[in-house]
Amino acid sequence: MDQRLIELQKISPKIQKELVYATPHNFTGKAVYPPSARLFLVEETAQRLHLVQLALEKKGLGLKVYDGYRPLSVQKIFWEICPNPCYVADPKIGSRHNRGTAVDVTLVDMHGKELPMPSGYDDFSEKAHRTYLGCSEEEAKNRSLLEGAMWFEGFIPYPMEWWHFDDPNWEKYPILDIPF
């Protein structure tokens, strides 16, 4: 693995992970990561996410990460299946995931149970948008709590996906295509 990337669990072992792209339970309908895939981010992003986790723990909550670093070769697969720039970055431009500076996250309680959100992960509908108003009060509260915790540590929320956040310094990192 590239020296710029670090395994998140080494910095923040309490953050849960569920790499959905290592399973068929994602928008592609197939595993696009190997079963042995691990969760990598650039160290700056991982440190920032660790601070979010520590703050949430004080509230009896935590983070679960669905995706972090993603090889450019996988981005190309995603684009072939869903060439919609609202939800999938064009591999000609690259994704912030391809730089190791984007995370897809949700909130969990102290037992590791996911809190209700307005949509499931990888939902490419308006229910995933941060401005979606048709959700329950609890879902809106949880979405807002996640966004606030991430904002506080500098993460930039993506408007079309309640789960996606970018490190504010993403531009200083190169696009990578290093396999897991």
Q: What is the spatial distance between Cα 36 and Cα 119, in angstroms, rounded to a whole number?
A: 27
Q: What is the pLDDT of residue 3?
A: 63
Domains, the chain, ordered by start = 5-168 (3.30.1380.10)
| Mean pLDDT split into 10-residue runs, the chain, 180 residues | 82 97 96 94 97 98 98 97 95 96 98 97 96 97 98 98 97 93
Q: What is the pLDDT of residue 144?
A: 98
Cα torsion angle, 72, 77, 80, 84, sign: negative
In DSSP notation, 92-138 reads TT--SGGGT-EEEEEEEETTSPBPP-SS-TT--SGGGSTT--SS-HH
Q: What is the pLDDT of residue 20?
A: 96
Q: What is the pLDDT of residue 180?
A: 85
**Hunting for tokens 């102290």 — which residue is that?**
110
The helix or strand, by DSSP H or E, that contains position 74, with its residue range, turns out to be helix 72-81
Q: Is 161 a catalytic residue?
A: yes
Q: What is the pLDDT of residue 71?
A: 97
Q: What is the pLDDT of residue 2?
A: 53
Catalytic residue among 44, 139, 153, 161: 161
In DSSP notation, 2-61 reads -TTEEEHHHH-TTSEE--GGGSS-STTSS--S-TT---EEEHHHHHHHHHHHHHHHTTTE
Q: Name the nearest CA neighbour of 5 among 134, 129, 98.
A: 98
